[in-house]
């Protein structure tokens, strides 16, 4: 099987499992949660989690609940980010946003439901005895990286950002938290549960942080191009402040630095490397 075929197979597994998890109830809340999670999405973060585990001792069944939990956290962040009090977006993944379809009140609760369900999933996940401590570490780290000092903290920097005082360092700090934290959590969860050594975990973490930044640079480049066509102002955006050319250079350099971290740590991880490569494609 080629690397792309293996990634496709992992994506189908994640899609099926997310469907199974969210089909357990048919209340309005679960309908809104399903609308937000099952309506497309690249599943980039769960793939990173599975790909990181795959680099060590592949036991995908053990990793799957954690990979799915991270996608639920990602989906909650999108539902809340789309709300009128945040980015006020009408369309997500080519469909009406959760609040457009279900109303703001239900969308707020759907986000809450997805976030808490993620932690329920991880807590309930069955792991071999030798991985029990690692499982607790993953849950704690995921909470921290998704929380007030990670992704949510990054979102606060986003909404309070002052474009006039924007510096490269302030934008990078925002990106590291808003986007990089959950991407780092994804690869660390996979590596920890996959059995990485401390040195390998360090390499995978550096890879994740660089990939998180690359991911947001790529999004900023696309977003700046889209918004300049439509003339709609956007939030903090590196490509808008420093130019698309510089943003593209930074994107390539973060992907390169991430890959070098894997090289230095002796981590082969062909699937992780392929996922990094995707960020340099159209």
Q: Are 252 and 280 in contact (CB under 8 A)?
A: yes
Which member of 70, 78, 98, 259 binds ligand GRG (CB under 6 A)? 78
Strand partners, 96: 91
Which member of 17, 219, 242, 244 binds ligand GRG (CB under 6 A)? 219
Instruction: Work out whether 80 is an interface residue with ligand GRG (CB under 6 A).
Output: yes
Q: Which of the ranges 40-48, 94-102, 121-129, 250-258 carries the binding residues for ligand GRG, by CB under 6 A?
A: 40-48
Q: How far is the CB of 119 from ligand GRG (least distance, A)?
A: 15
Q: How far is the CB of 168 from ligand GRG (least distance, A)?
A: 18
Q: Is 196 left (phi over 0), alpha (psi -120 to 50) or beta?
A: beta
Between 135 and 218, CB nearer to ligand GRG:
218
Which member of 11, 93, 246, 274 binds ligand GRG (CB under 6 A)? 93
Which member of 15, 54, 81, 200 binds ligand GRG (CB under 6 A)? 81
List C-alpha distances in Å: 64 to 33, 53, 84: 19, 10, 33
Between 142 and 155, CB nearer to ligand GRG:
155
Contact pattern from residue 58 through residue 77 relative to ligand GRG, giving x for each residue in contact according to CB under 6 A and a dash for the rest? -------------------x
Q: How far is the CB of 23 from ligand GRG (least distance, A)?
A: 20
Instruction: Work out whether 222 is an interface residue with ligand GRG (CB under 6 A).
Output: no
Which member of 21, 33, 41, 134 binds ligand GRG (CB under 6 A)? 41
Q: Which of the ranges 21-29, 79-87, 125-133, 273-281 carries the binding residues for ligand GRG, by CB under 6 A?
A: 79-87
Q: Are 256 and 240 in contact (CB under 8 A)?
A: no
Q: Which of the ranges 11-19, 25-33, 38-46, 237-245 carries the binding residues for ligand GRG, by CB under 6 A?
A: 38-46
Instruction: Work out whether 97 is an interface residue with ligand GRG (CB under 6 A).
Output: no
Instruction: Work out whether 42 is an interface residue with ligand GRG (CB under 6 A).
Output: yes
Which member of 178, 188, 240, 273 binds ligand GRG (CB under 6 A)? 178
Between 17 and 219, CB nearer to ligand GRG:
219
Q: Which residues ranging from 123 to 152 are in contact with ligand GRG (CB under 6 A)?
A: 151-152
DSSP letters for the chain:
--HHHHHHHHHHHHHHHHHHHHTT--SHHHHHHHHHHHS----HHHHHHHHHHHTSS--HHHHHHHHHHHHHHHHHHHHHHHSTTTT--SEETTEE-HHHHH-HHHHHHHHHHHHHHHHHHHHH----GGGHHHHHHHHHHHHHHHSTTTHHHHHHHHHT--GGG--HHHHHHHHIIIIIHHHHHHHHHHHHHHT--HHHHHHHHHHHHHHHHHHHHHHHHHHHHHHHHHT---SS-HHHHH-HHHHHHHHHHHHHHHHHHHHHTT---HHHHHHHHHTT--
* Cβ partners under 8 Å of residue 10, min gap 6: 46, 47, 50, 51, 60, 271
Instruction: Work out whether 241 is an interface residue with ligand GRG (CB under 6 A).
Output: no
Residues that bind ligand GRG (CB under 6 A): 41-42, 44, 77-78, 80-81, 86, 93, 151-152, 155, 178-179, 216, 219
């Amino acid at each position: 099987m080629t690397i792309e075929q293996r990634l496709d197979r992992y994506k189908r597994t994640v899609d099926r499992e997310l469907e199974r998890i969210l089909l357990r109830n048919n209340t309005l809340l679960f309908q809104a949660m399903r609308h937000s999670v099952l309506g497309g999405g690249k599943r980039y973060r769960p793939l990173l989690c599975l790909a990181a585990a795959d680099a060590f001792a592949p036991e995908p069944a053990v990793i799957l609940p954690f990979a799915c939990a991270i996608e639920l956290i990602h989906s909650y962040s999108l539902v809340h980010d789309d709300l009128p009090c945040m980015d006020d977006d009408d369309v997500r993944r080519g469909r009406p946003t959760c609040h457009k379809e279900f109303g703001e009140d239900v969308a707020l609760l759907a986000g809450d439901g997805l976030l808490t369900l993620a932690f329920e999933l991880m807590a309930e996940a069955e792991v071999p005895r030798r991985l029990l401590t690692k499982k607790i570490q993953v849950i704690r780290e995921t909470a921290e990286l998704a929380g007030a000092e990670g992704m949510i903290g990054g979102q606060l920097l986003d909404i309070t950002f002052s474009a006039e005082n924007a510096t490269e360092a302030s934008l990078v700090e925002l990106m590291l938290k808003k986007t990089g934290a959950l991407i780092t959590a994804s690869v660390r969860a996979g590596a920890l549960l996959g059995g990485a050594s401390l040195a390998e975990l360090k390499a995978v973490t550096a890879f994740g942080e660089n990939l998180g930044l690359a991911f947001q640079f790529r999004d900023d480049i696309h977003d700046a191009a889209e918004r300049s066509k439509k003339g709609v102002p956007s939030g903090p955006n590196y490509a808008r402040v420093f130019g698309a050319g510089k943003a593209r250079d930074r994107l390539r350099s973060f992907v390169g630095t991430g890959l070098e971290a894997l090289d230095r740590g002796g981590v082969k991880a062909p699937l992780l490397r392929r996922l990094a490569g995707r960020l340099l494609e159209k």
